[in-house]
Structure 1
């Protein structure tokens, strides 16, 4: 790289560095924000949402039986059958059904009738014998319903839709119990299925890892997702969930229940930007996002946003006359480079580890993804910037995990090991992400000794196996 470009790239990369002091400040703020979220029902922007899930038991891996899971996550509706073998293993059958475009803006009846019909077809194909059983709940297949839209959950098997996202717009569903809607349509179509739980994919990740983990590496206490988005769930003492209504609290205590899984919604950590690092590229990204001022943690960590940060930097360096000098003005730049969200984290994962001669793999990827020809000097700059953005993301990812381990006092006892179940494309596939995250965990208050006792393991099928296990929660 020429000296001017190198100095500017070094300067930008330095702005993405996170010091040990900053990491520890963020951990302290996360714990404070989590405590406030557990105590207040208000949607205060400064607090973490800390949503009670009413999942009150964690699997051991010895559970047996056949359960169903249904997942409405966006443009597809998945139905799964999970056979728990009682030895930490399971067998999975699943089907995927695209949601017809017209149903995404139709009526509740149309949408939930369609969902029920797909569950009916699945049960007829794979569990037809259940159609001959009695109609009471004890003989119905239990189903966990992953509904990936904002809901106000009031029990394990009920939750009112707050708002639609992801292109859905069905006004008559707002404020209605989505579990009841699905159950009513299942009943009207005589489907022998009982919707036993409203599930969350992050909670599912925790439960799925608890079932499969065999506790060889300690009790699974946290489930987390680092993919397109990011979120985490953990097992909290009932006495600390101060926002639970007193009648619900007393009812749970009367059943000798003393813990509940909390969905932290940690993508919203530090929306006020008290401690999170802020560069001008973060500010630019936030302005063009769908929810300016919210999910500020997620916008620095998750796969949806990492490529957009890099794209912003490249345009900035072009405007300073340091990159892509063959283009005499902005209008001449490849359209894809000027279009938000087209530079992907998948592409960055290739830039991260490219050791080919003259970074030819990076050259081909940039031409394919952005129609952008580059020089070797430009590719070297892009690789250095990529590594800096990913390193910051991985170090920030260490904050909520470390904070929750401290908050739970998870290392209490002699030589206790702690297991974390993780899912998502970034933590599973981005080169070195987990290793860099662990390096940062060692720099938090947990220290290197604590980091060695913390095990982060990939937990697959959270929205299917985990949702099915949610349906068992009352029985575990």
Structure 2
């Protein structure tokens, strides 16, 4: 055998050895995102225990924030205003609640808080300027001669002391408006409405988006006891019965802060690189904001990426369903940010890793839901419908199906039959109107609410 043939054989052996090493590393990374049934059941148990600790005011991962709201009965009627303030786009809706779970949007105004001509989220803006802008928008859907109750879906960390009293703890989502942190956002809105000559509009409710989701879904379905956000972030609210000793109330868990989890190598790196280390651990493992980052960290560990890039949950949705020839769609996503290209085999690895990261997210989220239901109904004897809003649940291919499969895997067919997951993508608006209607109809304990005249 000549030297050329020997060298070719040695090259092939070297290439084979390298491929074997790479496949071994790929499998190790994939295994890092694998959670089996036993581990998920344990997570559900601890989730349940953390709820019960929180109710006893013991140390818990959960904030157990009171909403001061019960579930709607589906017969709420009347015209109500809803303000949806959860990001850089505001929505104001005039909604007619028609009873029997029916409603109609009469008027709607949507406006960005940032344009080329203004920016209402920077620290150059004060509270009065921001809320005056909001009050002007509300004027566009109201008339002077009518009195309106307004429900405000305010999706920022707040400490609530009554249905219409919520103090902003800290701005998130790059907001930095001066004079709002530590203040009652409903009082700021009320003052702005008065300044703008709209004293006929009375803000009576401030709610979180998870609470809004459960209200909107429960208005149409009396088996809904849980509302959740599965999108850029993750959080869940549920109806706490207090064992019949007190009037039931919707509780916002702030479940993204659940911390009793085994972090893998990439979770730890992501947490250390985040703004708030050691906080929102559960959210960092399951929410759309972080899934693309986890994929990038894996590819860097494997030596496939040499530079930082940004992959969104929308990118991941394209990647995991890429059936195009030679992974054309996935190539386009990467080529938009880097000049290097991957082999077809490497693209197949990228797709598989993305699938595993998304699968873990759905399975962990399901374990959390099981923990909540376990607290509410230990034997899973009753129907429990879970309303979910958010792009991850609504738009990530296969995500909803993964949740349902995990329920069956962990609970068995019989118990899983009592659990139904439904999409509720209008909650932030409709929920605010329903909260205002519940206030107006007086279906709240008198010691749990402060009337507008007392604020």
| TM-score grouping bracket, smaller chain normalisation | 0.7 to 0.9
**With structure 2 as the length reference, what TM-score do the two structures score?**
0.86
Query: Could you tell me which of 74, 97, 121 is aligned with 2:140?
Result: 121
Q: 1:40-439, aligned counterparts within 5 Å?
A: 40=57, 46-56=60-70, 58-92=71-105, 93-99=107-113, 100-101=118-119, 104-105=122-123, 106-123=125-142, 128=143, 131-133=144-146, 140-191=147-198, 192-213=200-221, 215=222, 219-238=223-242, 258-270=247-259, 274=260, 276-318=261-303, 323=304, 330=306, 337-339=307-309, 342-368=310-336, 370=338, 372-409=340-377, 416-439=382-405
Moved more, 24-33 or 171-180: 171-180
Q: 1:190, CA displacement in angstroms?
A: 2.4
Question: What are the superposed Cα offsets for residues 425-470 of structure 1, whole Å, 9 maximum, x if unpaired?
Answer: 11111111111122222333x3332112210010111110011111
Instruction: Work out whether 1:33 is the aligned partner of 2:50.
Output: yes
Alpha carbons of structure 1 residues 401 and 306: separation in structure 2 relative to 1, 3 Å: same
Q: Distance in 2 between matches of 1:263 and 1:153?
A: 11
Question: What are the superposed Cα offsets for residues 179-231 of structure 1, whole Å, 9 maximum, x if unpaired?
Answer: 11111221232212110100111111111111233x5xxx1110111100001
Listed as ranges, the gaps of 5+ residues in structure 1 are 134-139, 241-252, 325-329, 331-336
Structure 1 residue ranges, 4+ long, deviating more than 3 angstroms after superposition: 368-372, 410-413
Q: 1:411, CA displacement in angstroms?
A: 6.3
Q: 1:174, CA displacement in angstroms?
A: 2.8
Q: Distance in 2 between matches of 1:412 and 1:453?
A: 7
Query: Could you tell me which of 421, 425, 445 is aligned with 1:460?
Result: 425
Match of 1:24 in 2: 41
1:36 and 1:47 in contact (8 A); partners too:
no
Larger radius of gyration: 2
Question: What are the superposed Cα offsets for residues 90-146 of structure 1, whole Å, 9 maximum, x if unpaired?
Answer: 2223222222425632222222222112211232xxxx3xx124xxxxxx2111112
Alpha carbons of structure 1 residues 102 and 357: separation in structure 2 relative to 1, 3 Å: closer
SS of the residue corresponding to residue 179 of structure 2 reads helix
2:77 and 2:437 in contact (8 A); partners too:
no
Q: 1:382, CA displacement in angstroms?
A: 0.2
Q: Distance in 1 between matches of 2:360 and 2:196?
A: 51
**With structure 1 as the length reference, what TM-score do the two structures score?**
0.83
User: C-alpha root-mean-square deviation of aligned residues, in Å?
Assistant: 2.1
1:221 and 1:419 in contact (8 A); partners too:
yes
Alpha carbons of structure 1 residues 345 and 372: separation in structure 2 relative to 1, 3 Å: farther
